[in-house]
Structure 1
Amino acid sequence: MALSKENLDFSTTYDRPAVEERVAIALGSNLGDSANLLQLALNALNQEDGIVLTHVSPFYQTAPVGPPQPDYVNTCAILYTTLVPFELLNRLLRVEQQFGRVRQERWGPRFLDLDLLLYGDRIIDQPGLQIPHPRMRDRAFVLVPLADIAGDWVEPTSQQTVASLLSNIDPAGVRLMAPD
């Protein structure tokens, strides 16, 4: 059986954080009213037990990765959680499903995409969960909004700050959206 997020066993246990862990997530949407969907998803996350949302970057319009499709609206958020990494991932996946996410085509269009980027200074390489997110260092649509709210956060595998990682890539194609 192929490994996918739909058939993962989330029963793996980790030591529960003694204090809340700081976490960075990325949010994206390119179907429907994307900006509104992202705001609703942020509100839904903030209602989850064990999650406290503290910072949200401005929204950005970005060109899609993959097949031809509408532009994305992207943002990043910082939250604090008492959930262990797999529990948090499970919550993110559940919120995606609440907003109509159906996993079909890799890099295809979607109503909502939530990615767990950083969990404190932890490095996790497990089937179904890699922290830091393995492609975040190469993606302007992640690093630009993340630098807005956590530019000094040190990405643990590279030991570089988010701002430093951003300085190594071309941010062209990531456009700040005007507030409504």
Structure 2
Amino acid sequence: MTVRAVLALGSNLGERSDTLAEAVADIVDHPLVRLCDVSPVVQTEPVGGPEDQPLYLNMVMEIETDLEPLELLRHCQAVEAKHHRERVVRWGPRTLDIDIIVYDQLEQDDPELTLPHPRAAERAFVLVPWLLMDPAATLLGVPVRQLAAAAEDLGGVEDFDASMEQS
């Protein structure tokens, strides 16, 4: 069964912009995943985790997939691994982070994969790019626009021009 899913991607180590672009290509380089849309990239302050982390680049993408939720999670984790993702410190710096935000209308509270993503509704670094990609988007029936306006980290989100990134 084909479903639509929204994935959030973030990077704050290495060539952030290149990593995000390559990750989008890697995600859709699967016979059961098709790209529908991508958001603009935003630059954001780190939320949670250790202090003094580099700024993040964040974006979202919408896909159509025939993968089951846990298969999609495994695929996303394989893409993270390809980009040298290391899980050392919770919410710590990373070359690439991919989260499944929504998987169609599925609601599940599973130890391995909770859907929709349990913190997506309060994270401007997810909501703002999602809103830029899809102004009519909703999360559990609430307009993403409304959720973004109420997010505590909204002030730390700014437009990002990839031509401005210096390595």
| TM-score normalised to structure 2 length | 0.92
Runs (4+) of structure 1 exceeding 3 A deviation are: none
- 1:137 aligns to 2:121 (yes or no): yes
Aligned match of 2:66 in 59, 74, 82?
Answer: 82
State the number of aligned residues: 160
Query: What secondary structure does 1:110 align onto?
Result: coil
Partner Cα distance (1:154, 1:59) in 2:
20
Work out whether residues 121 and 155 of structure 1, in 8 Å CA contact, stay in contact via their aligned partners in 2.
Answer: no
Name the residue aligned to 2:77. 93
Residue 7 of structure 2 corresponds to residue 25 of structure 1: yes
Q: Which runs of 5+ in 1 are unaligned?
A: 1-16
Alpha-carbon RMSD across the aligned residues, in angstroms, is: 1.1
Give the greater-gyration-radius structure (CA). Answer: 1
Instruction: Check the 8 A contact 1:151/1:163 in 2, yes or no.
Output: yes
Structure 2: gaps of 5 or more residues: none
Offset at 1:169? 2.3
Q: Tell me, in whole angstroms, the C-alpha distance in 2 between the residues paired with 1:137 and 1:151.
A: 15
Q: Does 1:114 align with 2:98?
A: yes
Counterparts of 2:92 and 2:151 in 1: how far apart (Å)? 23
Q: Could you tell me which of 154, 158, 176 is aligned with 2:138?
A: 154
CA displacement, residues 47-93 of structure 1 (integer Å, 9 cap, x when unaligned): 11210112111111111122121000101100110111111011000
Q: Percent identity?
A: 38
Structure 2 CA distance, aligned partners of 1:86 and 1:97? 16
